[in-house]
Amino acid sequence: MTTDVAGGRPGTAAHKPATSMEILSRNGIAVTSDGVPQRTGNNLDPWYANYAERAAGLAASEVRALFAVASRPEVVSLAGGMPFVSALPQDLIVSSMQKVMQEQGPVALQYGSGQGIPELREHILEVMSLEGIRGSVDNVVTATGSQQALDLVAKLFIDPGDVILAESPSYVGALGVFRSYQANVVHVAMDEHGLIPEALRQTIAHLRGQGRRIKFLYTIPNFHNPAGVTLSAERRPEILEICRSNEILVLEDNPYGLLHFDEPAPNALRALDPDGVIYLGSFSKTLAPGFRVGWALAPHAIREKLILAAESAILSPSSFSQLVVSEYLSTTDWRAQIDTFRGVYRERKDAMIEALGEHLPQLSWTNPNGGFYVWVTMPDVLDSKQMLPRAVKELVAYTPGTAFFADGRGRHAMRLSFCYPTPEAIRLGIRRLATVVNGELDLLDTFAGTGTLQLPPSAGYDSAPPSDLK
Protein backbone atom coordinates (compact mmCIF):
# COMPACT_ATOMS: atom_id res chain seq x y z
CA MET A 1 0.00 0.00 0.00
CA THR A 2 1.28 3.45 -0.79
CA THR A 3 0.20 6.72 0.72
CA ASP A 4 -0.32 9.53 -1.70
CA VAL A 5 1.42 12.82 -0.99
CA ALA A 6 -0.46 15.42 0.95
CA GLY A 7 -1.91 17.42 -1.87
CA GLY A 8 -4.64 19.50 -0.32
CA ARG A 9 -5.25 23.13 -1.12
CA PRO A 10 -3.44 25.61 1.07
CA GLY A 11 -5.20 26.05 4.35
CA THR A 12 -7.05 22.78 4.43
CA ALA A 13 -4.82 21.34 7.12
CA ALA A 14 -3.66 24.57 8.70
CA HIS A 15 -4.42 23.74 12.30
CA LYS A 16 -3.49 20.10 12.47
CA PRO A 17 0.01 19.33 13.70
CA ALA A 18 1.75 17.11 11.18
CA THR A 19 2.68 13.60 12.19
CA SER A 20 6.09 12.28 11.26
CA MET A 21 4.38 10.01 8.77
CA GLU A 22 2.76 13.04 7.15
CA ILE A 23 6.08 14.86 7.02
CA LEU A 24 7.69 11.87 5.32
CA SER A 25 4.75 11.71 2.98
CA ARG A 26 5.02 15.38 2.09
CA ASN A 27 8.63 14.86 1.26
CA GLY A 28 7.70 12.21 -1.22
CA ILE A 29 8.34 9.25 1.06
CA ALA A 30 5.33 7.03 1.54
CA VAL A 31 5.36 4.79 4.56
CA THR A 32 3.82 1.35 4.37
CA SER A 33 2.00 -0.23 7.30
CA ASP A 34 5.16 -2.08 8.33
CA GLY A 35 7.03 1.23 8.47
CA VAL A 36 9.24 0.73 5.40
CA PRO A 37 9.66 4.00 3.46
CA GLN A 38 8.77 3.77 -0.21
CA ARG A 39 9.25 6.29 -3.00
CA THR A 40 6.13 8.03 -4.18
CA GLY A 41 5.13 11.38 -5.66
CA ASN A 42 6.83 14.69 -5.06
CA ASN A 43 4.83 17.91 -5.23
CA LEU A 44 7.97 20.09 -4.83
CA ASP A 45 6.56 21.91 -1.81
CA PRO A 46 6.39 19.75 1.30
CA TRP A 47 4.55 22.54 3.15
CA TYR A 48 1.86 22.99 0.54
CA ALA A 49 -0.93 21.77 2.82
CA ASN A 50 0.21 23.98 5.70
CA TYR A 51 -0.22 27.47 4.26
CA ALA A 52 -2.69 29.77 5.94
CA GLU A 53 -5.92 30.45 4.10
CA ARG A 54 -4.84 34.05 3.59
CA ALA A 55 -1.97 32.79 1.38
CA ALA A 56 -4.37 31.27 -1.12
CA GLY A 57 -4.00 34.09 -3.67
CA LEU A 58 -0.22 34.23 -3.64
CA ALA A 59 0.40 32.33 -6.85
CA ALA A 60 2.42 32.64 -10.04
CA SER A 61 0.16 33.59 -12.92
CA GLU A 62 0.42 33.77 -16.67
CA VAL A 63 -0.36 37.49 -16.77
CA ARG A 64 2.26 38.29 -14.13
CA ALA A 65 4.79 36.24 -16.11
CA LEU A 66 3.99 38.18 -19.29
CA PHE A 67 4.90 41.41 -17.47
CA ALA A 68 8.50 40.15 -17.34
CA VAL A 69 9.05 41.47 -20.87
CA ALA A 70 8.30 45.03 -19.71
CA SER A 71 11.83 45.28 -18.35
CA ARG A 72 13.29 44.87 -21.85
CA PRO A 73 14.40 48.16 -23.44
CA GLU A 74 12.62 47.33 -26.74
CA VAL A 75 9.28 47.19 -24.95
CA VAL A 76 7.29 50.36 -24.32
CA SER A 77 5.73 49.72 -20.97
CA LEU A 78 2.54 51.58 -20.19
CA ALA A 79 1.89 48.97 -17.51
CA GLY A 80 3.79 50.04 -14.40
CA GLY A 81 3.63 52.98 -12.06
CA MET A 82 7.24 54.00 -11.63
CA PRO A 83 7.71 57.72 -10.99
CA PHE A 84 10.20 59.47 -13.25
CA VAL A 85 12.87 59.88 -10.58
CA SER A 86 15.42 61.10 -13.13
CA ALA A 87 13.67 64.48 -12.93
CA LEU A 88 15.13 64.80 -9.44
CA PRO A 89 18.47 66.63 -9.09
CA GLN A 90 20.78 63.92 -7.83
CA ASP A 91 23.20 66.31 -6.19
CA LEU A 92 20.47 67.51 -3.83
CA ILE A 93 19.84 63.95 -2.71
CA VAL A 94 23.55 63.21 -2.38
CA SER A 95 24.14 66.31 -0.26
CA SER A 96 21.15 65.45 1.95
CA MET A 97 22.59 61.99 2.49
CA GLN A 98 26.03 63.36 3.26
CA LYS A 99 24.70 65.86 5.72
CA VAL A 100 22.65 63.22 7.50
CA MET A 101 25.65 60.94 7.87
CA GLN A 102 27.98 63.74 8.94
CA GLU A 103 25.64 65.29 11.48
CA GLN A 104 23.37 62.49 12.63
CA GLY A 105 25.19 59.30 11.60
CA PRO A 106 24.62 57.34 14.81
CA VAL A 107 20.90 58.18 14.78
CA ALA A 108 20.56 57.32 11.10
CA LEU A 109 22.13 53.92 11.64
CA GLN A 110 20.15 53.10 14.79
CA TYR A 111 16.68 51.66 15.46
CA GLY A 112 14.14 54.43 15.71
CA SER A 113 10.69 54.78 17.17
CA GLY A 114 7.84 52.86 15.56
CA GLN A 115 6.01 56.13 15.04
CA GLY A 116 8.82 57.72 13.08
CA ILE A 117 11.23 60.60 13.53
CA PRO A 118 9.56 63.72 15.06
CA GLU A 119 11.32 66.18 12.76
CA LEU A 120 10.04 64.38 9.68
CA ARG A 121 6.53 64.22 11.13
CA GLU A 122 6.66 68.04 11.51
CA HIS A 123 7.52 68.33 7.81
CA ILE A 124 4.70 65.96 6.94
CA LEU A 125 2.22 68.33 8.60
CA GLU A 126 3.57 71.10 6.41
CA VAL A 127 3.15 68.94 3.27
CA MET A 128 -0.41 68.01 4.24
CA SER A 129 -1.32 71.65 4.89
CA LEU A 130 -1.10 72.18 1.12
CA GLU A 131 -4.28 70.09 0.90
CA GLY A 132 -6.07 71.80 3.74
CA ILE A 133 -5.15 69.33 6.45
CA ARG A 134 -4.43 70.47 9.98
CA GLY A 135 -3.39 67.88 12.51
CA SER A 136 -1.05 67.06 15.35
CA VAL A 137 2.47 65.72 14.97
CA ASP A 138 1.43 63.12 17.52
CA ASN A 139 -1.13 61.67 15.14
CA VAL A 140 1.31 61.16 12.27
CA VAL A 141 2.83 57.69 11.97
CA THR A 142 5.51 57.20 9.34
CA ALA A 143 5.69 53.91 7.50
CA THR A 144 7.73 51.97 4.96
CA GLY A 145 5.76 53.52 2.12
CA SER A 146 2.07 54.28 2.51
CA GLN A 147 1.54 50.70 1.31
CA GLN A 148 2.72 49.53 4.73
CA ALA A 149 0.37 51.95 6.46
CA LEU A 150 -2.41 50.51 4.31
CA ASP A 151 -1.46 47.01 5.42
CA LEU A 152 -1.38 48.05 9.09
CA VAL A 153 -4.80 49.70 8.91
CA ALA A 154 -6.19 46.56 7.25
CA LYS A 155 -4.59 44.43 9.96
CA LEU A 156 -6.20 46.55 12.69
CA PHE A 157 -9.69 46.51 11.26
CA ILE A 158 -10.37 43.50 9.06
CA ASP A 159 -11.71 40.18 10.30
CA PRO A 160 -12.23 37.46 7.70
CA GLY A 161 -15.48 38.08 5.84
CA ASP A 162 -15.70 41.81 6.62
CA VAL A 163 -16.71 44.07 3.78
CA ILE A 164 -14.45 46.84 2.49
CA LEU A 165 -16.03 49.37 0.14
CA ALA A 166 -13.84 50.58 -2.71
CA GLU A 167 -14.22 52.51 -5.92
CA SER A 168 -14.98 50.71 -9.11
CA PRO A 169 -12.20 50.16 -10.23
CA SER A 170 -9.71 50.41 -7.33
CA TYR A 171 -5.96 50.28 -6.68
CA VAL A 172 -4.64 46.77 -7.32
CA GLY A 173 -2.18 46.96 -4.40
CA ALA A 174 -4.97 47.74 -1.94
CA LEU A 175 -7.13 44.91 -3.24
CA GLY A 176 -4.22 42.56 -2.59
CA VAL A 177 -3.87 43.80 0.99
CA PHE A 178 -7.60 43.46 1.69
CA ARG A 179 -7.62 39.98 0.22
CA SER A 180 -4.69 38.95 2.39
CA TYR A 181 -6.82 39.79 5.44
CA GLN A 182 -9.69 37.85 3.87
CA ALA A 183 -11.99 40.81 3.42
CA ASN A 184 -14.68 40.93 0.75
CA VAL A 185 -14.26 44.01 -1.39
CA VAL A 186 -17.50 45.48 -2.69
CA HIS A 187 -17.07 48.04 -5.46
CA VAL A 188 -19.07 51.26 -5.55
CA ALA A 189 -19.75 52.94 -8.87
CA MET A 190 -17.87 56.08 -9.88
CA ASP A 191 -18.14 58.51 -12.77
CA GLU A 192 -16.05 61.41 -14.06
CA HIS A 193 -16.64 63.25 -10.76
CA GLY A 194 -15.50 60.32 -8.63
CA LEU A 195 -17.47 58.11 -6.28
CA ILE A 196 -21.24 58.47 -6.80
CA PRO A 197 -22.93 59.33 -3.47
CA GLU A 198 -26.21 57.67 -4.38
CA ALA A 199 -24.41 54.48 -5.39
CA LEU A 200 -22.61 54.52 -2.04
CA ARG A 201 -25.90 54.91 -0.17
CA GLN A 202 -27.52 52.07 -2.07
CA THR A 203 -24.55 49.76 -1.69
CA ILE A 204 -24.44 50.34 2.07
CA ALA A 205 -28.18 49.78 2.41
CA HIS A 206 -28.00 46.62 0.32
CA LEU A 207 -25.11 45.20 2.35
CA ARG A 208 -26.72 46.14 5.66
CA GLY A 209 -29.89 44.43 4.45
CA GLN A 210 -27.85 41.27 4.04
CA GLY A 211 -26.44 41.64 7.54
CA ARG A 212 -22.90 42.20 6.24
CA ARG A 213 -20.37 44.07 8.33
CA ILE A 214 -18.72 47.02 6.57
CA LYS A 215 -15.38 48.04 8.07
CA PHE A 216 -14.33 51.01 5.98
CA LEU A 217 -14.52 52.85 2.67
CA TYR A 218 -11.20 52.80 0.86
CA THR A 219 -10.97 55.73 -1.53
CA ILE A 220 -8.40 57.50 -3.72
CA PRO A 221 -10.15 60.84 -4.18
CA ASN A 222 -7.46 62.58 -6.25
CA PHE A 223 -6.23 61.55 -9.73
CA HIS A 224 -7.44 58.06 -9.07
CA ASN A 225 -5.35 54.96 -9.67
CA PRO A 226 -6.38 53.47 -12.08
CA ALA A 227 -9.36 55.58 -13.22
CA GLY A 228 -7.62 58.98 -13.47
CA VAL A 229 -10.64 60.87 -12.07
CA THR A 230 -10.99 63.18 -9.06
CA LEU A 231 -13.79 63.31 -6.52
CA SER A 232 -15.48 66.69 -6.97
CA ALA A 233 -15.51 69.27 -4.18
CA GLU A 234 -19.33 69.12 -4.11
CA ARG A 235 -19.40 65.40 -3.47
CA ARG A 236 -16.77 65.34 -0.74
CA PRO A 237 -18.95 66.48 2.19
CA GLU A 238 -21.77 64.26 0.97
CA ILE A 239 -19.60 61.14 0.83
CA LEU A 240 -18.29 61.91 4.32
CA GLU A 241 -21.80 62.47 5.65
CA ILE A 242 -23.01 59.15 4.23
CA CYS A 243 -20.11 57.35 5.92
CA ARG A 244 -20.54 59.23 9.20
CA SER A 245 -24.25 58.51 9.41
CA ASN A 246 -23.59 54.84 8.69
CA GLU A 247 -20.68 54.68 11.12
CA ILE A 248 -18.24 53.72 8.41
CA LEU A 249 -14.62 54.77 8.70
CA VAL A 250 -12.99 56.36 5.64
CA LEU A 251 -9.50 55.36 4.52
CA GLU A 252 -8.29 58.14 2.24
CA ASP A 253 -5.29 57.20 0.09
CA ASN A 254 -3.74 60.27 -1.49
CA PRO A 255 -0.36 59.61 -3.12
CA TYR A 256 -1.01 61.79 -6.19
CA GLY A 257 -2.83 64.80 -4.68
CA LEU A 258 -0.02 67.31 -5.25
CA LEU A 259 0.61 66.20 -8.83
CA HIS A 260 -2.12 68.25 -10.50
CA PHE A 261 -1.74 69.57 -14.05
CA ASP A 262 -3.79 72.75 -13.84
CA GLU A 263 -6.39 73.15 -11.09
CA PRO A 264 -5.28 71.77 -7.71
CA ALA A 265 -7.47 68.99 -6.32
CA PRO A 266 -10.12 70.01 -3.78
CA ASN A 267 -9.08 69.84 -0.13
CA ALA A 268 -8.53 66.37 1.26
CA LEU A 269 -11.41 64.45 2.85
CA ARG A 270 -9.39 64.45 6.06
CA ALA A 271 -9.48 68.27 6.03
CA LEU A 272 -13.26 68.06 6.32
CA ASP A 273 -13.52 65.29 8.89
CA PRO A 274 -10.61 64.74 11.30
CA ASP A 275 -12.43 62.06 13.32
CA GLY A 276 -13.84 59.85 10.59
CA VAL A 277 -10.87 59.62 8.23
CA ILE A 278 -7.53 57.87 8.25
CA TYR A 279 -5.33 59.66 5.75
CA LEU A 280 -2.46 57.97 3.90
CA GLY A 281 0.29 60.04 2.30
CA SER A 282 3.50 59.24 0.48
CA PHE A 283 6.82 60.70 -0.64
CA SER A 284 7.03 58.11 -3.42
CA LYS A 285 5.58 60.39 -6.07
CA THR A 286 6.63 63.83 -4.83
CA LEU A 287 10.19 62.73 -4.04
CA ALA A 288 11.21 59.13 -4.76
CA PRO A 289 9.83 55.67 -3.97
CA GLY A 290 13.26 54.26 -3.23
CA PHE A 291 13.23 55.89 0.21
CA ARG A 292 10.09 53.92 1.06
CA VAL A 293 8.71 56.69 3.25
CA GLY A 294 4.99 57.22 3.59
CA TRP A 295 2.70 57.99 6.46
CA ALA A 296 -0.70 57.74 8.08
CA LEU A 297 -2.54 60.52 9.87
CA ALA A 298 -5.08 58.90 12.15
CA PRO A 299 -7.44 59.80 14.99
CA HIS A 300 -5.51 59.37 18.26
CA ALA A 301 -7.02 56.05 19.36
CA ILE A 302 -6.29 54.43 16.01
CA ARG A 303 -2.85 56.05 15.93
CA GLU A 304 -1.91 54.33 19.23
CA LYS A 305 -2.73 50.96 17.77
CA LEU A 306 -1.01 51.76 14.48
CA ILE A 307 2.24 52.46 16.31
CA LEU A 308 2.05 49.18 18.23
CA ALA A 309 1.19 47.29 15.05
CA ALA A 310 4.08 48.97 13.20
CA GLU A 311 6.55 48.07 15.95
CA SER A 312 5.36 44.51 15.90
CA ALA A 313 5.72 44.31 12.13
CA ILE A 314 9.02 46.10 11.52
CA LEU A 315 10.18 47.60 14.87
CA SER A 316 10.71 50.94 13.14
CA PRO A 317 10.76 52.40 9.65
CA SER A 318 14.22 53.17 8.22
CA SER A 319 15.83 55.93 10.31
CA PHE A 320 18.26 56.68 7.50
CA SER A 321 15.53 57.18 4.90
CA GLN A 322 13.43 59.33 7.20
CA LEU A 323 16.36 61.58 8.07
CA VAL A 324 17.35 62.01 4.42
CA VAL A 325 13.79 62.91 3.46
CA SER A 326 13.60 65.29 6.41
CA GLU A 327 16.90 66.92 5.43
CA TYR A 328 15.74 67.24 1.81
CA LEU A 329 12.53 68.93 2.92
CA SER A 330 14.39 71.38 5.20
CA THR A 331 17.08 72.41 2.75
CA THR A 332 15.56 72.37 -0.71
CA ASP A 333 12.70 74.05 -2.49
CA TRP A 334 10.64 70.87 -2.57
CA ARG A 335 7.56 72.71 -3.78
CA ALA A 336 9.48 73.79 -6.89
CA GLN A 337 10.57 70.18 -7.38
CA ILE A 338 6.93 69.06 -7.29
CA ASP A 339 6.25 71.74 -9.93
CA THR A 340 8.96 70.17 -12.07
CA PHE A 341 7.34 66.76 -11.70
CA ARG A 342 3.96 68.27 -12.62
CA GLY A 343 5.43 69.69 -15.81
CA VAL A 344 7.01 66.36 -16.77
CA TYR A 345 3.82 64.39 -16.16
CA ARG A 346 1.57 66.96 -17.82
CA GLU A 347 3.63 66.75 -21.01
CA ARG A 348 3.47 62.94 -20.94
CA LYS A 349 -0.26 62.88 -20.26
CA ASP A 350 -0.84 65.28 -23.17
CA ALA A 351 1.25 63.04 -25.43
CA MET A 352 -0.80 60.02 -24.42
CA ILE A 353 -4.18 61.67 -24.87
CA GLU A 354 -3.16 63.09 -28.23
CA ALA A 355 -1.82 59.73 -29.44
CA LEU A 356 -4.96 57.92 -28.29
CA GLY A 357 -7.07 60.39 -30.25
CA GLU A 358 -4.93 59.89 -33.32
CA HIS A 359 -4.48 56.10 -33.27
CA LEU A 360 -7.35 54.62 -31.27
CA PRO A 361 -10.34 56.90 -31.84
CA GLN A 362 -12.73 53.94 -31.48
CA LEU A 363 -11.87 53.62 -27.76
CA SER A 364 -12.77 55.98 -24.92
CA TRP A 365 -10.56 57.17 -22.08
CA THR A 366 -10.39 59.44 -19.09
CA ASN A 367 -8.37 62.65 -19.34
CA PRO A 368 -6.85 63.09 -15.88
CA ASN A 369 -5.99 66.44 -14.40
CA GLY A 370 -3.12 64.90 -12.43
CA GLY A 371 -1.48 61.68 -11.32
CA PHE A 372 -0.09 58.86 -13.45
CA TYR A 373 -2.92 57.03 -15.19
CA VAL A 374 -5.41 57.00 -18.04
CA TRP A 375 -8.26 54.48 -17.90
CA VAL A 376 -9.21 53.18 -21.33
CA THR A 377 -12.56 51.58 -22.05
CA MET A 378 -12.80 49.31 -25.08
CA PRO A 379 -15.72 47.87 -27.03
CA ASP A 380 -17.28 44.87 -25.29
CA VAL A 381 -15.88 42.43 -27.84
CA LEU A 382 -12.32 43.16 -26.72
CA ASP A 383 -10.80 41.49 -23.67
CA SER A 384 -7.70 43.23 -22.35
CA LYS A 385 -6.40 40.13 -20.58
CA GLN A 386 -6.83 37.90 -23.61
CA MET A 387 -5.09 40.52 -25.74
CA LEU A 388 -1.96 40.81 -23.57
CA PRO A 389 0.10 38.08 -25.34
CA ARG A 390 -0.47 39.94 -28.61
CA ALA A 391 0.74 43.14 -26.95
CA VAL A 392 3.90 41.36 -25.82
CA LYS A 393 4.56 40.35 -29.44
CA GLU A 394 4.09 43.98 -30.51
CA LEU A 395 6.46 45.18 -27.76
CA VAL A 396 3.98 47.20 -25.73
CA ALA A 397 2.62 46.48 -22.25
CA TYR A 398 -0.42 47.68 -20.33
CA THR A 399 -2.28 46.48 -17.25
CA PRO A 400 -5.53 44.63 -17.97
CA GLY A 401 -8.55 46.18 -16.26
CA THR A 402 -9.29 42.97 -14.38
CA ALA A 403 -6.41 43.74 -12.01
CA PHE A 404 -8.43 46.58 -10.50
CA PHE A 405 -11.55 44.66 -9.58
CA ALA A 406 -12.10 42.06 -6.88
CA ASP A 407 -15.04 40.54 -8.72
CA GLY A 408 -13.70 39.61 -12.16
CA ARG A 409 -14.89 42.76 -13.93
CA GLY A 410 -12.62 44.99 -16.00
CA ARG A 411 -12.08 42.78 -19.05
CA HIS A 412 -13.08 45.56 -21.43
CA ALA A 413 -10.77 48.13 -19.88
CA MET A 414 -7.07 48.73 -19.38
CA ARG A 415 -4.88 51.08 -17.40
CA LEU A 416 -2.23 53.02 -19.24
CA SER A 417 0.45 54.80 -17.26
CA PHE A 418 2.24 57.85 -18.61
CA CYS A 419 4.58 58.44 -15.66
CA TYR A 420 7.74 56.60 -16.74
CA PRO A 421 8.12 56.56 -20.56
CA THR A 422 9.14 59.69 -22.46
CA PRO A 423 6.52 61.43 -24.65
CA GLU A 424 8.17 59.89 -27.75
CA ALA A 425 8.01 56.43 -26.22
CA ILE A 426 4.38 57.00 -25.25
CA ARG A 427 3.50 57.90 -28.84
CA LEU A 428 5.29 54.79 -30.10
CA GLY A 429 3.59 52.69 -27.45
CA ILE A 430 0.13 53.91 -28.40
CA ARG A 431 0.89 53.26 -32.09
CA ARG A 432 1.83 49.70 -31.17
CA LEU A 433 -1.26 49.39 -29.00
CA ALA A 434 -3.34 50.36 -32.02
CA THR A 435 -1.73 47.50 -33.95
CA VAL A 436 -2.64 45.17 -31.08
CA VAL A 437 -6.24 46.38 -30.86
CA ASN A 438 -6.73 46.31 -34.63
CA GLY A 439 -5.16 42.86 -34.90
CA GLU A 440 -7.44 41.56 -32.20
CA LEU A 441 -10.50 43.18 -33.79
CA ASP A 442 -9.54 41.60 -37.10
CA LEU A 443 -9.25 38.18 -35.45
CA LEU A 444 -12.58 38.59 -33.66
CA ASP A 445 -14.12 39.71 -36.92
CA THR A 446 -12.94 36.52 -38.60
CA PHE A 447 -14.74 34.47 -35.96
CA ALA A 448 -17.79 36.72 -35.63
CA GLY A 449 -21.03 34.78 -35.58
CA THR A 450 -19.40 31.42 -34.77
CA GLY A 451 -20.17 31.48 -31.06
CA THR A 452 -18.99 33.07 -27.84
CA LEU A 453 -15.50 34.45 -28.23
CA GLN A 454 -14.95 35.62 -24.69
CA LEU A 455 -13.94 33.75 -21.62
CA PRO A 456 -16.71 33.36 -19.06
CA PRO A 457 -16.39 35.95 -16.28
CA SER A 458 -14.10 34.59 -13.61
CA ALA A 459 -14.80 35.56 -10.04
CA GLY A 460 -11.86 36.68 -8.01
CA TYR A 461 -8.59 38.48 -8.25
CA ASP A 462 -5.73 38.77 -10.67
CA SER A 463 -2.38 38.56 -9.00
CA ALA A 464 -0.79 41.99 -8.64
CA PRO A 465 1.77 43.10 -11.22
CA PRO A 466 5.39 42.92 -9.97
CA SER A 467 6.40 45.91 -7.81
CA ASP A 468 9.37 46.65 -10.06
CA LEU A 469 7.23 46.80 -13.19
CA LYS A 470 8.27 49.71 -15.38
Partner 1 sequence: MSDSKALYVVVLAGGISHERDVSLRSGRRVADALVAAGHRVVLRDPDAALLPFLAAERPDVVFPALHGSSGEDGSLLDLLAALGVPAVGSSGSSARRAWSKPVASSLLAEAGVAVPESIVLSHEAFRELGASSVLRVVRDALEGDLVVKPASGGSAQGVTIVQDTNDLPRAMVEAFTYDDVAVVERRVFGTEVAVAVIDTGDGPVALPAVEIEPIAGVYSFQARYNAGETTFYAPSRLDASVIAAASDAAVLAHRTLGLRDLSRVDFIVDDGGRPWFLEANVLPGLTETSLVPLAIEASGTDVSTVYSALALTAHSRRSSADAK
Is position 455 an interface residue for partner 1 (rule: CB under 8 A)? yes
Is position 1 an interface residue for partner 1 (rule: CB under 8 A)? no
> Which of these segments, 62-70, 106-114, 148-156, 178-186, binds partner 1 (CB under 8 A)?
62-70
Query: 40 or 246, CB closer to partner 1?
Result: 40
Smallest distance, Å, CB 170 to partner 1? 24
Cβ neighbours around 391 below 10 Å, total: 28
Query: 53 or 138, CB closer to partner 1?
Result: 53
User: Which is it for strands 37-39 and 29-31: parallel, antiparallel or unpaired?
Assistant: antiparallel
Q: Determine the residue type at 297.
A: L
Binding residue for partner 1, selected from 29, 107, 125, 453, defined by CB under 8 A = 453
Is position 440 an interface residue for partner 1 (rule: CB under 8 A)? yes
DSSP state of 133: -
Query: How far is Cα 396 from Cα 416, in angstroms, rounded to an integer?
Result: 11
> Which of these segments, 63-71, 85-93, 267-275, 321-329, binds partner 1 (CB under 8 A)?
63-71
Site for partner 1, residues 355 to 414, rule: CB under 8 A: 386-387, 389-390, 392-393, 395
Cβ 327 vs Cβ 102: under 8 Å: no
Identify the three-state secondary structure at position 60: coil
Query: 41 or 457, CB closer to partner 1?
Result: 41
Binding residue for partner 1, selected from 35, 209, 211, 451, defined by CB under 8 A = 451
Is position 454 an interface residue for partner 1 (rule: CB under 8 A)? yes
> Which of these segments, 41-49, 165-173, 255-263, 320-328, binds partner 1 (CB under 8 A)?
41-49
Binding residue for partner 1, selected from 20, 86, 102, 452, defined by CB under 8 A = 452
Identify the three-state secondary structure at position 255: coil
User: Which is it for strands 163-168 and 140-144: parallel, antiparallel or unpaired?
Assistant: unpaired
Smallest distance, Å, CB 185 to partner 1? 22
* Residues 154/159/160/165 CA torsion (nearest 10 deg): -50
15 CB-near residues (< 8 Å, 6+ apart): none
Is position 136 an interface residue for partner 1 (rule: CB under 8 A)? no
Beta strands in 133-183 (DSSP E): 140-144, 163-168
Is position 48 an interface residue for partner 1 (rule: CB under 8 A)? yes
- What stretch of H or E contains 341? helix 334-359
How many CA within 13 A on the CB side of residue 167? 30
- How far is CA 347 from each of CA 147, 350, 418, 421, 427, rounded to the nearest angstrom? 28, 5, 9, 11, 12
Smallest distance, Å, CB 121 to partner 1? 41
Cβ neighbours around 4 below 10 Å, total: 10
> Which of these segments, 64-72, 232-240, 357-365, 399-407, binds partner 1 (CB under 8 A)?
64-72
Binding residue for partner 1, selected from 62, 103, 198, 424, defined by CB under 8 A = 62
Q: List interacting residues with partner 1 (CB under 8 A).
A: 4-5, 7, 9-10, 40-45, 48, 59-62, 64-69, 72-75, 386-387, 389-390, 392-393, 395, 440, 443-444, 446-455
